[in-house]
Amino acid sequence: MAVLPAALVLSGCIARAAADIVSAPVKVASKTADLATTSQSEADEKRGREIRKREEQLGKLGRRYDAQRAECGRGDADACTAARETRAEMDVLSPAVPVDPN
């Protein structure tokens, strides 16, 4: 009589193992696709971080440019040259920073 329940349990284990083996490739493929795909919200967050980084860089360049212009106004020719170079950097970076509509 103990043989019958053991056979039922054993057949259940075999069926479960077979199902796990059959479904494993699907689970792996699904997980791989999940990892390889970027959601829209993740893409938006990444773009936001990139924009904030460019805005920060543009702000630093702006402060440097203002200081160099002040020195240039006091007659420092090297500061005038540096200000022109900084302004050129700002001009390159500016199109990559969206305009705030407010």
pLDDT of residue 36: 66
pLDDT at 44: 87
The pLDDT, as a whole number, for residue 75 is 94
- Beta-carbon contacts of 55 under 8 Å, excluding residues fewer than 6 positions away, are 97
Calculate mean pLDDT across residues 28-52.
79
pTM summary value: 0.56
Give the pLDDT of residue 62.
95
In angstroms, the CA 94 to CA 61 distance is 11
Task: Flag the least confident range among 2-6, 56-60, 73-77.
Answer: 2-6
Percent of the chain whose predicted confidence (pLDDT) is above 90? 38
Query: Contact, 68 vs 82, CB < 8 A?
Result: yes
